[in-house]
Amino acid sequence: MSVVTKVVLQMNAKLGGELWSIAIPMKGVMYIGIDTYHDSGSARSVGGFVASMNDLCTRYYSKTTWQASKQELISQLEVCTDEALQQYFKLNNAFPSRVFIFRDGVGDGQLLAVKEMELTSIKRALAKLPQKPQLIFVVVTKRIQQRFFLKQGGRLSNPTPGTVVDTKVTSDALFDFFLVPQSVGQGTVTPTHYNVLEFSTNIQPDHLQQIAFKLCHIYFNWTGTIRVPAVCQYAHKLAFLVGNHLNKDPSPQLANYLYYL
């Protein structure tokens, strides 16, 4: 029965159903996830772009881009952002007042290149709006060496989900933090590293950390929390499906569905 239930839930999500949602008091926000997939047997790499279309984070718009094989940076983000903003306006009759972007799949050595190329492209798209929204751009990294432990009396244990570390072991030059998004049954839990490259907003850093943790709860393929914000995982799944199986852009009629789950 549990297997059948999960299959039906996945079918429902693919067809546009809203399985569950999160409560974020902030309204008029678009959350964007970006990731890249490299297929060793293909001459091209594919970038996945997924943007939320409502405050409950249950509706999404997706688009794919193509670049040279093994190229991590995406050159067409201005076009993707333009189309997502127009779709958001079509559904909400207003443009978002804040845009949160979570970029997955780039290492620390590429942060400057991401800032100069991808962040600049997105800023050009936002500058076209009647009123420029506040912008937060975050690079999400899963493959890290850092581990954290909670000291309780004379023993060590894994920190609880939602634990944030933003002092001592973080960079002095950058705004970054570590977030423990989930619990594990055995072994040591691996935190996720967030590097904030743009923080043009009036919200507090604590709010960004809370939002990042909340977004780990709304990936419709898993009933618990995942290691990255859901928009990142959706972008990864989209890029993987298109790059590994379709090898061409999906139909525009599917752009508002989570068909890639």
Higher-scoring residue by pLDDT: 72, 147: 147
Residue 189 falls within a domain, yes or no? no
Task: Give 128: exposed, middle or buried? Use CB within 10 Å, 0-12, 13-18, 19+.
Answer: exposed
Q: Within 10 Å of residue 241's Cβ, how many Cβ atoms?
A: 18
Q: Which whole number is the average pLDDT over 115-139?
A: 92
How much is the mean pLDDT over the chain? 90
* pLDDT at position 40 over 80: no
- Whole-angstrom Cα distance, residue 31 to residue 22? 13
- 131 CB-near residues (< 8 Å, 6+ apart): 95, 97
pTM: 0.92
Pairing of strands 155-157, 150-152: antiparallel
Lowest mean pLDDT among 38-42, 59-63, 121-125, 168-172: 38-42
**Domain total in the chain:** 1
- Whole-angstrom Cα distance, residue 35 to residue 26? 25
pLDDT score for 111: 84
* pLDDT at position 42 over 80: no
Residue 167 falls within a domain, yes or no? no
- 161 CB-near residues (< 8 Å, 6+ apart): 180, 181, 182, 183, 213, 225
pLDDT score for 152: 85
pLDDT in tens, 204-233: 999 999 999 999 999 998 888 999 999 999
pLDDT > 70: what percent of the chain?
99
pLDDT score for 190: 92
Q: Which whole number is the average pLDDT over 37-53?
A: 85
* Whether 163 contacts 177, CB under 8 Å: no
> Could you list the residue range(s) of the whole structural domain that residue 85 is in?
29-142+196-254
- Whole-angstrom Cα distance, residue 48 to residue 245? 14
Q: Is 38 helix (H, G, I), strand (E, B) or coil?
A: strand
Q: Which whole number is the average pLDDT over 40-61?
A: 88
The CATH number of whichever domain residue 53 belongs to comes to: 3.30.420.10
Catalytic positions, written as ranges? 35, 72, 104, 236
pLDDT score for 154: 84
DSSP 81-145: HHHHHHHHHHHHSS--SEEEEEEES--GGGHHHHIIIIIHHHHHHHTTSSSPPEEEEEEEE----
Residue 91 falls within a domain, yes or no? yes
Lowest mean pLDDT among 20-29, 39-48, 169-178: 39-48
Residue 124 falls within a domain, yes or no? yes
pLDDT in tens, 80-123: 999 999 999 999 999 999 999 999 878 778 888 888 888 999 99
Phi/psi at 8 (5° precision): -65, -40
Residue 9 falls within a domain, yes or no? no
Task: Give 127: exposed, middle or buried? Use CB within 10 Å, 0-12, 13-18, 19+.
Answer: exposed
